[in-house]
Structures are given as C-alpha cells and as structure tokens.
Structure 1
C-alpha cells in the first residue's frame, strides 16, 4: 500500500519535473515508463525531446528489397505521426534530432522538409540533422545533397542548430533581411555551400552567437564543361572565414579552412586544425585578448618558434591552457607565463629541449613521438604540478626508458607514466638485459596500455619497467591485442612473490625499492565484491575493463 502511494506521489509531480526525470534516462528506459501509469504515459507522449534514427528501423544487411522499403515507410510514418501529435495538440518541442544514414535521402527530402516545418511551428529550440555525406550521385543520376529549407532560418525560438553531412546551404538561404535572433550555438560538419562566403554570412546573421563549430565544410565546384552546378560535382575546401562584430562569441572550433580571421572581444576558447591540404594556412585572432584556451592541431609549417611563444603570452595575458598536437616545432623552445595552468605537447616533431617557467602550472602532459624524448625542464613550478608522460616505445628501445624519465627535470614533478610498448618482430624475441645504476624516480601512477604478447618477453619487460620507476599504483586494461590476461597474471605473481633474485639491485651497495615492498592490493573497475580473490577477478575481467595494483613501500 505504501509503495502504491509513493508511486502516486511521483506521478502527481508537475510535468516539468517528470520531463526532467525522463531527460536523464536512456531512451529505452524512458519509453518503458509509459506503462507505469496513465500519468507516466501522458508524460512520455508529451516529452519535448525527440530523437529519430533510421538505424533503429533498418536492421542488418543484406535483406530483401521489399522488407527494406517497408521499413523505410514505417520510419517515415513514425516520425510524421509523432510530430503531428505535438503539432495538433499545441505541444512544444524543445529538441528535434534526426539521423538518416541508411535510407536514400532523395526519396525522403520532402518528408524531411515537412518534419522541419512541423518542428519549427512547435517552437523547437535545438535542431540537429545528421545526414549522409554528399555530394554523391546514385545510379539514376540523383544527388544526395539535402537543401536546407529557407523556413529554418525564420524560427525565432531556435537557440542551437547542428547540421552534419551532405546538407547544402544555398545562396538563397542567405536573405539579408532575416537573422537568427536567438541562435547561440552553431555546429556545421561537412556542410556544403554554393558560395564561398555563404557560411560566413550565415554566422554574421547571428548577433547572439556564443559557440561556433565548423568541421570540414566545403564549397561546391561548378561543372567546367557546362558551367552549371551539378549535385554530383566535386567540392573544395573553404579558403577563408572572417568572423567579426560578434560581441557574445565565446568559443570557436574550426577544421579544414585555410585562412581564419577572428575579431571577437569575448572569445575565450579557440581550436584550429588546418586540415588535409598542402596550401599554407593563416590564422589571425590577435584582437581576442581575453582568450583563455588555445588548441592547435596539425600545424605543419614552422610557425611555432621561440619568438611565437614569447609573443603569444604577451598578446593573451589571460591564457590558461595551451594544447599543441602534431605540430612542427623548433628544436628548442622557452615557455614563460605566470597565468598558464595547463600545457599539453603531443607528437611535436623536431623538439629536443623545452624550458618552462610557469609557477602556476598545474598539469603538463607530454606525448612522445616514439623517438628520443626531449629534455623538459621546469625552472619554476607549483607544488601542485603533475606531469604526465605518455611514451610509445619499441620493445628493443625499452632499455632507454630510464633515460627518457631522467629527461624530466626536476624528477619529483613526474607523477604518472603511460607506456605503449610495441610488439617486436619474430627475429627479435630475445629478452633484454638491463643494468641498474641509480635509484629510479618515484611516481604516483604507471599505466601499461600496450605490452608484448609473447610470454618469453614478460620477465624482461617487467624488470626493466620496475627498475626504471617506482610506482605507487600500476593499472592495466585487458585487451587481447594490447594487454593479455597472461601478462596481467605474470605481473601479479611477480609483485606477490618479491623474490630476492628478482630485485633490481645493481653491483653497488644501494638496495632497490623492491626490498621495501610490504604489500600489494588488487582492485578492479568491475562492480564485484572487494574480497574476491585475484584468480576470480581475472576470469571476470572483460574487454577494456581495468585492474590495478596498489604498492605499499
């Protein structure tokens, strides 16, 4: 009786609260609530967050053509029926998300137009379209581009617009008398346009825009022979983008545009990747003096020099986070900033020496390129600084691991180490011999992401790693290709046995940390009884699940 009363009290909550509960549940679980009571059924049928995916209807391939056509019709009818229910009852739609990747788009374009119209008239706030990439052509000569209707831009309630895939933004769509008065978030992925400046003009029509994402957008190239634009014609990268007069703009994420110019006084975060083309790129965001976060990817030209770093921190005095990934660097760079808190350098070629003077730096991540790691010196550092070193290394180069760790100066800032040890070829399966000369650095965490599968090498791998560093914890994620259960078991047995002949002492009088190892505690990411024994834990360990060893020294 009490249980029923509790259910009644929950069902009688205001609709806005019940909708909020549904928004936090997976879609399948949310649908199941409709059978709990009449109130929950009504709540589900008025839930204003709609997501439709043809993947839930199409099933697996191959399949009979008749069945495929029936499923496509069922999908179209289901979307239309749901939207009409909201429209006919005057219900609001907060989010409308549509993903079509399996059914042919040219058979459905008019339906999609109708769906967008219904959602727009229901006051949609977030509109997300995910369609197949274009412009391709089918056997009957029809293109797969979807032309966004002009009416979408007139939706005054729209605050977020996400377009992904072969969606064409025509020049006619860029009516100067219309503006996205409420739009705050704009994301365009692989969107196409006829005009080089169409997307730029679209952005200029959004006075309240705060977040912009542009990834791999293209310009359709006219057919040279006929001078007509065909949907099957090729597309080229956007050459330039100019954003100015956007007083609310906070974040910009751009990929695949050669030249980017930004004048936005409130910009806080800028991410840029030029894309896969050989032409030189240019970025100008000097006027964005309130910038706090800067991410640069795949900058192949040698613009990142010592002078570049010097000017960067003087131009942007509030810069807190700098991430450089796959960028071509000078051999020696100096970083000096009082404001910097986060620094990431990943796969930065040519780099041999980094001098960092950042007294408030809290996190530094360095991902090596597989060769000799640069010397990284911290001239002034916070007591809270944590340095994470991620190293891909060949098995035959494993003896150089100790030297790579010693390149971090001072040693006590190194807090975690992630290792990707590549499997050697069959003709190089002899175990390595490693001589210890001095006590290894102590670190908080060692993550073994990839280790050789051949059991002949297990002993030398473990000995070299544990003589190169003294970790407080060691974690491994089970993967039959990168980290087998056999290796996890071997590491566990090595740690538990702690034999004298298995220590890392050299010829000197200094005794290694192995002699002081008192206890090893084993934990797992699985939800199991903490008292379960290791053998059972290992048997239950699933793909990608993690097992950890805590070492008490």
Structure 2
C-alpha cells in the first residue's frame, strides 16, 4: 500500500492547501483520511450560507422551520467549538437570504461576539436588503454591534444588505488601527455623519467601497413617528494617509484628500442632478473610472485640466457619460482608455504614445470616427456593439472609422432580431477587400433562418477576420446558424455575390478553416463530430473558426 505523504504534512500546510481550493472541494476532503477530517474541523476560514441547508422554495412550512433551526444550531455549534478549543478564526463569511432580520438578530449578535473574540481578520456579513428596497422602518435592519469594529485583529470588513451603523459609532472615540479594507453595500446609518465618522476612526484604511448606502430619519405625522430613508448625500474622506482605492456609488458629493490614492471609481446617486467630485489633492492618482455623469458635458478643457491635475494617470474609463461631439485626449502617461455608451460622441482624437488598450462600447447607430494620432505599436482596440439587424449595412463604415486600421483587434457583436421577421437585408456588393481585424466575436444573432444568408454575407463583406467565434448558448446562437456559417465559410453556398458579378468574395480564397471549441482545442476533429459532441446548453462556451488565407 502506498504511503499517504500529503496527509502527514504539518497542519499549517494542509490548512494552506484547503484555503486554495473552492469551498465545496475543501469540504469534501474530510472523506480522505482522519488527518484531513481534523484539518477541516480546525480550518480557520469559516463560510456559512443558509440556502445550502434550507434549499429552495416552495417547501412545507414545517420543513423550513426545522431546517432554519438546523442552520442556526450548526453555526452556533461550530463557533463554540472553536472557542472551547482556543482556535483562531481567520475569516468568517455569513450569508443569510431566507430569514427575517428581526428573527435572526439575537443569533447574529452572539455569532458576531464569538467571532470578534476569536482573532478574526476578515469578516463578511451579507443579509437580506433592508429599507433600501422594502421601504420599511429601521427595525427591519440588523444593528451592527460596536464590538465588531473594535476587534483588534480585524483587517477586512464587508457589510451587505439590511445592516445599520448605529448612533453609537458617532460617540465612539477609539481608533481602529487594524482595519485596512472597508466595504459597505446597501448599508443604513442612523445619522448622515455616522459612516463618515466610522471611516475617520480607521486611519490606516487602504481600500473603501460605498455603494447605495442610505440614511434613516424620523418624521412626525399626527404625533406618530415613522422612519424614512434617503440616499447619503455626501461623504468626506480626510486624514487617511494609506488610502489607495475608493469606489463610491449612489452619493452625490464626495471629497477626498489622500496623497496615496491610486484608483478612484465614482457614480453619483441622481444621474441628472449636479454632483461634486473633489479629488484634486490626490496627485498620485493612476486610475479613474466615472459612471453615469449625465448632468454635465465632458469637453476638451475637462481633459486638459484632468491630465494637469493628475500627471501620473494611466487608466481612464467612462461609462454612460455625456461627451461633447468632438473630444481630444492628449497624455504622455495614459495606457488604458475605455469609452462605453457615451452619448453625443462623433469624433475622438487620441494622442497617447504609451496607450496599450482602448475599449469602445456602443450601438450600431453611432459611428464615431476614432483616430489614434500617436500610439504604441502594441496598442489593441476592442469594440463591443449592440446593433439592430437592419443596421448591418453600416457595419463596414463603422469599422473603417477606426484609424489607423491595424489597431482594431476584436469586434464583438450583439445583433438583435428584427421585430418584423420578413424584413430582409439588402447587402451591397463591394469590389474591394474589407478591413482586416484579428477577431470577430458573434455573441448573439437572429434565429430566423431566412435572415441567415444576408446576415453572414453582410458580416463577411464588412470585415476580414483572422478568427471568428460564436456563442454555444442556445438562447443567443443556435446550432442551425453555426452549421450555416461553417458551410458558407467552406464555400458550399451556391448563392453568393460573385455568382452574378466578376468580383470574387474573399472567403472563397480560404485555404483552410480550422475549428475548435472552448471545450476542446483539437483542430483535427471533424466539424460535425465536434458539434455533435458538445452539450446542447453551454452558457459559457464558444466555437471558433481560424481562417487561413
């Protein structure tokens, strides 16, 4: 019998192995040997999710009550065992989806106490959404105990859902020197300043995430008190010398004074109302991401001011922002640029000699001219377009608007089914070879078979790709289209542009078409055999064609 050398390794090494495995695989190691069972029961990373025990709904009420009790007992028993054996808890993750917060609050209080006393370094608490979604009062939220943040070993704190930062945090004077990462999602505070005060008491914070946090207030109606919630209006982050990254969503005004800040992502709460973003003192900023800036028009002067304020800026991303029709971007340091669904754009001129990656996302109706005046020889432009079937006639013009042509690396297309299915696309015959691109990715195509031929001919008349990939998700691209596309590439379709013209379609000169899928890389497998071997529903897989001219 072979000796089990791995099971005899020191427990610290076995714990490290478990930490690198997916949670489900780590739990399965208890069947390997007694050593692995003991390793699992002393593993310092604990993760609890009620749905794994309770299951899905609907189910009989008595079953739900029994499973809920089993879950509560299991969590409590595990934490008490760690305390009784004097074991540290490195990470504690709790996700509750099926319980009423009022029902669970006392149990969660106990768990938080046991965890905070066990040397926890990472704490992630995900509870059902509170007033942010259901409009109920503060009693629907779990009140975060001050003792949690007082845990001296706590390095990372993630709070999501119906959790309230109580007034006690305003009056607390202790500084929490251990906390480096703070993430608050849909969290509620009793006072506008509570979260800001909490942040100010953590001087060594390096990363802060605030998303859709709210404030509750009481108002009197005929002598009765009712709780009202509203989005946080403003936040200031001052006196944080170690702060490197900030991600804020749903707050209208933000003020940051952090000399070490490197990355900042901002999305205001009210898209069409004025917003305030003051990060002028963060001179070391490397990455800036701006989402949904609709209440102002970004013009050339804005870019001039931006690059003068932040001379080390390397990454710039805009999502759903409003631009002037023509923008000029000039930077000696910029390496990454992304423009996604930015309205009004007609012309973009980019002078960035170190630019390595540029992403553009838009719709087929928009055809901005994007010119790279100075760029790195390694620059790659990746484009994602949502377009209507009837707009395919404009695709070639869209591709030709990228200058110079050789920078366009990949084009991903979502082609939407026309509302009137008998519509046909008139594909113009062209006498010149279309622009070359490295990769064409068809993520969604119409399902009507009568549209296949004009669709494929329009695509191949618009660009000449080195590789083409199609989704194997049946909702986006069915097998009938994949087979038709392959037959067209192989030149087996009788009806073609060149059947009535002296101009020969470029794909008839293909020397070979190599077919692979993301599930196999063997190019020697017959296409039909490969397609038959693939599962009928493959949401994350694709099939690729490599064209050899």
Same fold (TM over 0.5): yes
**Would you say 1:519 and 2:500 are equivalent positions?**
no
- For structure 1, which segment, 423-432 or 202-211, has the greater mean C-alpha deviation from structure 2 after superposition? 423-432
Which residue in the other structure is 1:155 paired with?
Answer: 151
**Would you say 1:179 and 2:172 are equivalent positions?**
no
Q: 1:389 is paired with a residue of what secondary structure?
A: strand
| Aligned-partner Cα distance in 1 for 2:366–2:125 | 46
**Would you say 1:537 and 2:530 are equivalent positions?**
yes
> Residue 51 and residue 325 in structure 1: after superposition, are their counterparts in 2 closer, same or farther (change >3 A)?
same
Which residue in the other structure is 1:40 paired with?
Answer: 36
**Would you say 1:328 and 2:315 are equivalent positions?**
no
- For structure 1, which segment, 42-51 or 57-66, has the greater mean C-alpha deviation from structure 2 after superposition? 57-66
| Aligned-partner Cα distance in 2 for 1:250–1:276 | 26
Which residue in the other structure is 1:130 paired with?
Answer: 126
Q: 2:360 is paired with a residue of what secondary structure?
A: strand
- Superposed, 1:50-449 pairs within 5 Å as 50-135=46-131, 143-225=139-221, 230=226, 233-276=227-270, 278-426=272-420, 428-449=422-443
Which residue in the other structure is 1:13 paired with?
Answer: 9
How far is 1:132 from its partner?
Answer: 0.9
Contact preservation (8 Å) 1:222, 1:228? no
- Tell me the alpha carbon deviations over residues 188-224 of structure 1, each in whole angstroms, 9 at most, x when there is no partner: 0000011101101110111110000000000002133
Contact preservation (8 Å) 2:381, 2:410? yes
Q: 1:430 is paired with a residue of what secondary structure?
A: coil
Q: 2:131 is paired with a residue of what secondary structure?
A: coil
How far is 1:57 from its partner?
Answer: 1.6
| Aligned-partner Cα distance in 2 for 1:55–1:192 | 24
| Aligned-partner Cα distance in 2 for 1:226–1:531 | 80
Contact preservation (8 Å) 2:137, 2:228? no
TM-score, scaled relative to structure 2: 0.95
| Aligned-partner Cα distance in 2 for 1:141–1:305 | 43
| Aligned-partner Cα distance in 2 for 1:546–1:448 | 10
| Aligned-partner Cα distance in 1 for 2:51–2:82 | 23
| Aligned-partner Cα distance in 1 for 2:133–2:499 | 69
Contact preservation (8 Å) 1:429, 1:456? no
| Aligned-partner Cα distance in 1 for 2:25–2:9 | 19
How many residues were matched structurally?
546
> Residue 426 and residue 369 in structure 1: after superposition, are their counterparts in 2 closer, same or farther (change >3 A)?
closer
Contact preservation (8 Å) 1:435, 1:506? no
Q: 1:522 is paired with a residue of what secondary structure?
A: strand
- Tell me the alpha carbon deviations over residues 271-314 of structure 1, each in whole angstroms, 9 at most, x when there is no partner: 01113454311101111111111111111022411110111111
Contact preservation (8 Å) 1:302, 1:330? no
Residue 479 (structure 1) aligned to one of 469, 473, 476: 473
| Aligned-partner Cα distance in 1 for 2:353–2:177 | 44
Contact preservation (8 Å) 2:489, 2:507? no
In the alignment, structure 1 segments of 5+ residues that lack a partner are: none
| Aligned-partner Cα distance in 1 for 2:106–2:298 | 49
Contact preservation (8 Å) 2:252, 2:270? no
| Aligned-partner Cα distance in 1 for 2:406–2:499 | 22
Contact preservation (8 Å) 1:321, 1:340? yes
Contact preservation (8 Å) 1:218, 1:235? yes
RMSD over equivalenced CA pairs, Å: 2.2
Q: 2:140 is paired with a residue of what secondary structure?
A: coil
> Residue 136 and residue 273 in structure 1: after superposition, are their counterparts in 2 closer, same or farther (change >3 A)?
closer
Contact preservation (8 Å) 1:349, 1:369? no
